Amino acid sequence: MQSPDEETLVERACRGDPDAFEELVVSYQSRAFRTAFVIAGDAADAEEAAQDAFVKAHRALGRFRSGEPFRPWLLTIVANEARNRRRSRGRRAALALRAADPGAPGEDPEAAALASERRERLLTAVQRLRDDDRDVLACRYFLDLSEEETAATLGITRGTVKSRTHRALGRLQEELE
Amino acid sequence: MIDLELELRDLAAHLDVPMHPPLAGAVLVRITRARRRRRVLTLAVATGLAALAVALAVPGSRASLLRFFHIRGAAVRLVDKLPPLAGHRSLGIPIPLDRAPFRLLLPSGRRPARLYAGDGGYWLRYPGLLLFEFESGNGATLIKKAAVGTHVEYVRVGGEAGIWIGARHAVFLPGGPPVAAGHVLIWQHGVLTLRLEVAVGLDQALAIARSLR
């Protein structure tokens, strides 16, 4: 659901107001870059994909249906651009974990190390999944998109999101065992 | 599964995702450039269309703009000057009518006075009329050149495409110099392309073409 402010902004951008579109880019650049990054796995590709997606979105504004949510519409274009780059590279770059946090005060260092190890294993297992399984998990858990937004972003039905998520989690569990 | 889902959400918080680069500036530059390019292109197209409309409104210009006519098996090009033309050339080897490998179409069903095999097809000679028939589906093409100002137009013969050349012109046949030809109607008929040369106007030529069977 978009806020009334955002709806106004989108309407102004659709009418050709460049300031309104700039505001939309500023609001969504972080989200667009993160989406492209978790799909493409590479910062340079993600930047290009996000930039191209905004340019394409601007060109396609005339086809945007007033009142529709803007975020999934934009993320669909971003995800397509990111997947195209991943496909043209022939392999996907690996996601990585941030350097170990110093840990919260009072946290058991041994427990923190175990948690970090567990995350490493989980990330490795996620990266062994097929692209479509990995994409659905990335949308649902890494980008925190709803089922509906995931469906729009990946261009599949909500039912397929449900079944693919279930299948991907099952395969992930098998990878971890 | 619930645990795994929670772990994935926790993993998301620990992923090394670089800080997003500022995209707005680059995006706006690209959009502005594209808009400028579109504006220039639109202006160029509009100017071109206006010039074309003006040119087509003037009969002389219209004729000079249409310098190339094409149907399957034949092309007519308008040139500023005709090449030197041979007055006469052999039509090929005389053969009996029943030797043609496909059923020849005959004006009003009449048998020709002479039939020749040559130039990749068959020449049917009648008093005051010359008909050439060939299978054009294999890419064979009859090339003709006519001087600018010659009356050349597209016509329809029995629903198929044709070209009428209402004046002397050059015809290029394989293996010989260009020869002179008079009024000619060329048209498609199924897999064949036919060329009718006869000293009559377009209406009469069309009537003869339609009588072929």
Whether the CB-CB separation of A43 and A37 falls below 8 Å is answered with yes
Say whether A59 and B15 touch across the interface (CB within 8 A): no
Interface test with B, best of A33, A42, A145 (most B CBs within 10 A): A33
- Look over chain A and give the mean of its residue pLDDT values, rounded to a whole number: 87
How many contacts does A have with B, using Cβ atoms within 8 A? Answer: 91
Cα R_g (chain A), whole angstroms? 18
Mean pLDDT within A12-17: 86
What pLDDT shows up at residue B57?
66
User: Which of A29, A58, A141 minimises the CB distance to B12?
Assistant: A141
Q: Which residue has the higher pLDDT, B162 or B83?
A: B162
Distance (Å) from the alpha carbon of B80 to chain A's nearest alpha carbon: 47
pTM attached to this predicted model: 0.55
Question: Are B31 and A58 in contact (CB < 8 Å)?
Answer: yes
Q: What is the pLDDT of residue A11?
A: 87
> From the list B7, B23, B31, which residue is nearest A122 (CB)?
B7
- Confidence at B140, pLDDT banded by 50, 70, 90: low
Please say if the pLDDT value at position A141 is more than 90.
Answer: yes
Mean pLDDT over each residue of chain B, to the nearest integer: 82
A 10 A CB-CB count for B16 gives: 12
- List the strands of the sheet with B114-118, edge to edge: B93-94, B114-118, B121-126, B129-135, B192-198, B184-189, B160-165, B152-157
Q: What is the pLDDT of residue A173?
A: 92
Q: Using the predicted structure, report yes or no on whether residue A1 has a pLDDT greater than 60.
A: no
The verdict on A37 touching B (C-beta cutoff 8 Å) is yes
Distance CA B45, CA B6 (A): 58
Distance spanning both ends of chain B, measured CA to CA: 80
Torsion of CA A12, A16, A17, A19, to 10 degrees: 110
Residue B132 has pLDDT above 70, yes or no: yes
A32, A37, A141 member nearest B5 (Cβ): A141
* pLDDT tens digits, A24-73: 998 899 999 999 999 988 888 999 999 999 999 998 988 888 778 889 99
Provide the 10 A C-beta neighbour count for residue B156: 10
Q: What is the pLDDT of residue A168?
A: 95
Residue with tokens 């599949």: A156
A172/B contact by beta carbon, under 8 A: yes
Please report the pLDDT score of residue B18 as a whole number: 86
pLDDT in tens, A92-104: 667 888 776 555 6
| Closest Cα in chain B, distance from residue A60 (Å) | 12
Under 8 Å CB-to-CB from B85, ≥6 apart: which residues? B170, B177, B178, B179, B180
pLDDT band at A164 (very low <50, low <70, confident <90, very high): very high
Asked if residue B53 has pLDDT above 90, the reply is no
Q: Provide, as residue numbers in chain A, all residues whose Cβ is less than 8 Å from the Cβ of B24.
A: 22, 25-26, 29
- Verify whether the Cβ–Cβ distance A43 to B18 is below 8 Å: yes
Q: Are A133 and A168 in contact (CB under 8 A)?
A: yes
Q: What is the structure's pLDDT at A89? A: 77
Q: Give the dihedral sign, CA B19/B24/B25/B30.
A: positive
**Residue B82: its pLDDT value, please?**
80
Give me the pLDDT at residue B106, please: 92
pLDDT digits (tens, 9 = 90+) for B66-103: 677 888 888 888 888 888 777 677 888 888 888 877 78
